[in-house]
Amino acid sequence: MALKTFKPYTKTTRGTVIVDKSSLWKGSSYKPLTRGQHVTGGRNNAGRITSRHMGGGSKHKFRIIDFFRKKKNMKAIVDRIEYDPNRTAYIALITYEDKEKAYIISPQGLKIGDTVEAGKNVEIKTGNSLELKDIPPGTFIHNVELIPGNGGKLARSAGSSITLSGYDGDYAILKLSSGETRKVNSACTGTIGTVSNPDQKNVKIGKAGRNRWRGKRPQTRGVAMNPVDHPHGGGEGKTSGGRSPVSPWGQSAKGLKTRRPQRSDKFIITRRNKRKK
């Protein structure tokens, strides 16, 4: 997919960069695999805002994605590649030999008419799903399980992939795009290839209205508030807060580690790369 820019007729079009979707399916989604979607707008069951800056947005239908690839050693043909408003990656509608249809995360390079398969002793090619122990080291994979049979959890967003580095006993060693290296049970499954739509990272929204279409409401800077509303608030004139950056509840906004569960620490070999400040 290519990026699409516009002539600068307005201030908005001057800065807008979007992904060209002209090669995707033009019709509506496959109805038996589509459900209605309830949106909270950031409110809890009492109607109070518990997550700020959420609300509004275009109405979406939810597409049921097969992250499990449970139909083993049965070939499927790719009918079409679709846009999914609920995720950054594109999705592919596939039809199995028994005429059952399913949506899967579309890898980069998958085309209409291609054949995909899941199971043991399948070919190492884009879109095929295998157990990690059957995949050669150095292969790029996505939609990787953390627990066998639990469905793909890792590397599902646009352009993401995981490198299978090698094996250590019953575990496969994975290098994630974050820089983290971790062990995963080699009986878990992964799909060959990189997730589609890698140009998503280059999109420029262009205007506030497009964020409103996505269900994002405006944010007010803490330094523009009063002291009662935010730790950065108050002061005479334009002050920058007078203290280290924090959230409205006083939690550091400069790389404070908030990870609590330690049950998976033993599987992490190298922590993810530190973000540059």
Mean residue pLDDT of the chain comes to 94
pLDDT at 242: 83
Q: Which residues pair with 17 in a beta bridge?
A: 5, 204
pTM: 0.90
Planar angle of CA 169, 72, 190, nearest 5 degrees: 45
pLDDT category, 123, cuts 50, 70, 90? Answer: very high
pLDDT at 261: 79
pLDDT at 72: 93
Nearest to 101 by CA among 158, 63, 133, 131: 63
Domains in the chain, please, with CATH?
Answer: 3-200 (2.40.50.140)
Is 148's pLDDT higher than 70?
A: yes
Do 94 and 78 form a contact (C-beta atoms < 8 A)? yes
Q: Residues 6 or more apart from 94 whose CB is under 8 A from it?
A: 76, 77, 78, 79, 101, 102, 103, 104, 116
Distance CA 244, CA 215 (A): 30
CA 149 to chain centre: 20
As a whole number, mean pLDDT of residues 170-194 equals 96
Is 276's pLDDT higher than 80?
A: no
Q: How many CA atoms lie within 13 A of 222 on its CB side?
A: 17
pLDDT at 1: 64
Is 149's pLDDT higher than 90?
A: yes
pLDDT at 272: 85
pLDDT category, 241, cuts 50, 70, 90? Answer: confident
Do 146 and 153 form a contact (C-beta atoms < 8 A)? yes
The token duo for 92 is 């592919």
What does the pLDDT look like over 13-42, one tens digit per residue? 999 999 999 999 999 999 999 999 999 999
What does the pLDDT look like over 39-96, one tens digit per residue? 999 999 999 999 999 999 999 999 999 999 999 999 999 999 999 999 999 999 999 9
Distance CA 194, CA 166 (A): 18
Distance CA 85, CA 53 (A): 19
**More confident: 183 or 274:** 183
pLDDT at 240: 84
Residue owning tokens 């949506």: 103
pLDDT category, 239, cuts 50, 70, 90? Answer: confident
Q: Which residues pair with 270 in a beta bridge?
A: 181
As a whole number, mean pLDDT of residues 159-169 equals 95
Distance CA 229, CA 109 (A): 50
**More confident: 154 or 259:** 154
Which spans in 58-205 are helix H? none
Give the CA-trace dihedral at 252, 257, 262, 266, to 10 degrees.
180
Do 58 and 224 form a contact (C-beta atoms < 8 A)? no
pLDDT at 184: 96
